[in-house]
Structure 1
Amino acid sequence: MPNSANYSKSHTQSASKTATAAIAAQPSYIVLPRATELAGKQYQTVLEFLVDHFQQIDVSVWQQRINDGKVHWLNGELITADSAYQATARVYYYREVLAETQVPFAEQVLYQDSHTIIVYKPHFLPVTPGGNYVNECLVHRLRIATQIDTVAPAHRLDKDTAGVMLMTLNPQTRHAYHQLFLDDNITKNYQAIAKITPQLLTQLADNSCALPIHWTVKNRIAPANPSFTMQVIEGEANSHSEISLVAVKGDLGLFELSPITGKTHQLRVHMLSLGMPIINDRFYPVLQPKGPDNFDKPLQLLAKRLRFIDPVSGIEQDFQCQDLAF
């Protein structure tokens, strides 16, 4: 069922579910808050702030990073244990993990010009550093492959979701591509595989309904508990998806989905609201215990197609990747 294997040929064959210590090749940064943003807290040094703000990281780790020259100001000057707190200044640091899992699937460049890269992102690969991933992310891989340090995403795609992504190269024109999404001038089409409800299977079997079957889903999505998951609540709709069941095999259905709005986990939550959560979804309907990714069971959600008029060239662009295996 996974499609990621179809795009893994260019990735090193030794890549597997191995984990190695890693430090980010590119620095992250945080802007030191003003006094009015600190809720009464006061910090004498940058180190005091970092320890208090990143409470999941032990003080000894920050002390060692500073001693190793891995924390600095915007101009490159190193920050020491005694460096004074400076409101609104940027502090740069390098994220580290003791064991970074290697994702054994490869990205694939579908198109590149001087402003953009259109790329297929495989399942399990995050777009940017986060959590247990610092260098195993799409941005870092593309920066290495292209030798262009300004590669940046124009939009979001969950780590668990595979598919077509628009990446920008030129900081001078990046805003124009971001604006496509802000103005809804880009069309995104997805595929998903889910188990069909018994009621719908019965209706298909007795021919009381026929394919394709279409749903317009509009509801209000808000953070749940834990806050990285989402839920449908009462209130004015803030999300909208168009969903169609287009093929059936046994008790599984192949769906085509078009998100009209772009809320976090929108398609996953909307499929759940129809009573048909996406196959291999570790968040919905029940949040699964945290653990290593199972590369044999990717979330069956694919950003299949991306269409837009390039704001720089004026050329109509239309990019697709291979279908989900069904």
Structure 2
Amino acid sequence: MGGSRKGHQAEANAYVPLPTREGVAPSYLWLTETRAGGMLRFLVERFPDVSEAAWAQRLARGEIVDAKGVPLNADSHVRQGMRIWYYRELEAPETPIPFKESVLHLDEHLLVADKPHFLPTIPTGRFLHETLLVRLKKQFDLPHLTPIHRLDRETAGVLIFSHNPASRGAYQSMFQKRVVKKVYEALAGPIEGREFPFTYRSRMQDAEQFFVSEEVPGEPNSETVVELIARRGDVAHYRLHPHTGRKHQLRLHLASLGAPILNDAFYPVALPCKGDDFSAPLQLLARSISFIDPLSGDARRFDSGFRLDWPDGSGA
């Protein structure tokens, strides 16, 4: 369609012709071909989920600009090699997510947050302002804030952000080198026939359904250590140590062990979307993250203040 998205939000260390607006950084699009018909026609064809009227209004307001910050109009030329900048907007109003994050730590390099269930980490799909990143940008006025790892929308717990571009690479490299110790907890079905703790390994890949993963034969590329904390009837409380970071690794591993996490809508079977139903949070929590700080050499650990909920309503 003549456009290729190179990055959803602006790079912190590059020139950005539009400012952050209400916590939302501008997005950009590289144009890969020259086309006739003007910018409005191109945008309508490139983003069919956004109405022509909406694009026309945004062009008229001067909110779509070129790499130098010059506003584009409906008849502006579409040329190969251009980069256009714009603000992502939602056509439909966002549903407020009625759960509040907390900040566990803030210094000149990092912000460590405790994310609640149901809150997405970054803008995606139908979520924009109701995301942890945008909420924190608004609260602390940190335009360069970006997560250096991710948590699923359904998962609660500790999440680390960088807000200093100069030191970001040092902290990102910790995750790339797998020297960060992450501990999760989950409530799930009982795992029979195993002595705890044990290590589970499998080969994972993206499934045909783009939003889930699956296990396939072959050399393992995922590994999780599973500990049993407690058991009450048909529900067990587990401590999980992921030694790799595959998408949905813990959810898929427990489901493959015959013990799907309570309220998991994806595993072992992907269920219809529950929309804005907040009544049954996934019982998975990123309990703690610890590491040796690459700048100071200090040992650091951050723990979530959230809890899991047994079926009887008591906390785990």
TM bin (shorter chain) = 0.7 to 0.9
**In the alignment, which residue of structure 1 is the partner of 2:270?**
287
Structure 1 segment 91-170 matched on structure 2, within 5 A: 91-97=84-90, 98-170=92-164
**In the alignment, which residue of structure 1 is the partner of 2:237?**
254
**In the alignment, which residue of structure 2 is the partner of 1:58?**
51
SS of equivalent to 1:96: coil
User: In the alignment, which of 24, 27, 34 is matched to residue 32 of structure 2?
Assistant: 34
SS of equivalent to 1:303: strand
1:179 aligns with 2:151: no
Of stretches 181-190 and 283-292 in structure 1, the one that deviates more from structure 2 is 283-292
1:78, 1:191 → 2: CA distance? 50
Matching residue's letter, 1:132: R
> How far apart are residue 75 of structure 1 and its match?
3.0
SS of equivalent to 1:231: strand
User: Relative contact order, CA 8 A, sep 6+: which one is greater?
Assistant: 1
2:79, 2:295 → 1: CA distance? 39
Matching residue's letter, 1:234: P
Matching residue's letter, 2:24: Q
Instruction: Indicate how the Cα distance of structure 1 residues 226 and 43 shifts in structure 2: closer, same or farther if over 3 A, else same.
Output: farther
> 4+ runs of 1 displaced by more than 6 Å?
none
**In the alignment, which residue of structure 1 is the partner of 2:9?**
none
SS of equivalent to 2:97: coil
SS of equivalent to 1:173: helix
- Scaled by the length of structure 1, the TM-score of the pair is 0.82
SS of equivalent to 1:101: coil
Matching residue's letter, 2:57: Q
Matching residue's letter, 1:235: G
Matching residue's letter, 2:60: N
**In the alignment, which residue of structure 1 is the partner of 2:6?**
none
SS of equivalent to 2:185: strand
2:77, 2:223 → 1: CA distance? 48
1:122, 1:99 → 2: CA distance? 21
| Structure 1: gaps (5+ residues) | 1-22, 36-41, 204-208
Structure 1 segment 151-300 matched on structure 2, within 5 A: 151-196=145-190, 200=192, 213-300=196-283
2:103, 2:82 → 1: CA distance? 37
1:263, 1:279 → 2: CA distance? 20
CA deviation string 1:177-225 (max 9, x = no partner): 111101112110100111225xx2xx6xxxxx77xx2331211111113
1:86, 1:226 → 2: CA distance? 35
1:302, 1:234 → 2: CA distance? 29
> How far apart are residue 85 of structure 1 and its match?
2.2
Of stretches 105-114 and 285-294 in structure 1, the one that deviates more from structure 2 is 285-294
% same residue: 37
1:65, 1:24 → 2: CA distance? 16
2:140, 2:63 → 1: CA distance? 26
8 Å CA contact 1:190, 1:256 repeated in 2: yes
Instruction: Indicate how the Cα distance of structure 1 residues 145 and 250 shifts in structure 2: closer, same or farther if over 3 A, else same.
Output: same
2:288, 2:235 → 1: CA distance? 22
8 Å CA contact 1:29, 1:90 repeated in 2: no
Q: In the comparison of the two structures, how many residue pairs are matched?
A: 287
1:73 aligns with 2:66: yes
2:61, 2:107 → 1: CA distance? 39
1:43 aligns with 2:32: no
Q: CA RMSD in A?
A: 2.0
| Structure 2: gaps (5+ residues) | 1-20, 309-314
2:217, 2:146 → 1: CA distance? 36
Of stretches 78-87 and 227-236 in structure 1, the one that deviates more from structure 2 is 78-87
SS of equivalent to 1:110: strand
CA deviation string 1:84-121 (max 9, x = no partner): 22334332222222120111111111111100011101
Matching residue's letter, 1:308: F
CA deviation string 1:104-160 (max 9, x = no partner): 111111111100011101111111111111111111111122122221111111111
Of stretches 150-159 and 285-294 in structure 1, the one that deviates more from structure 2 is 285-294
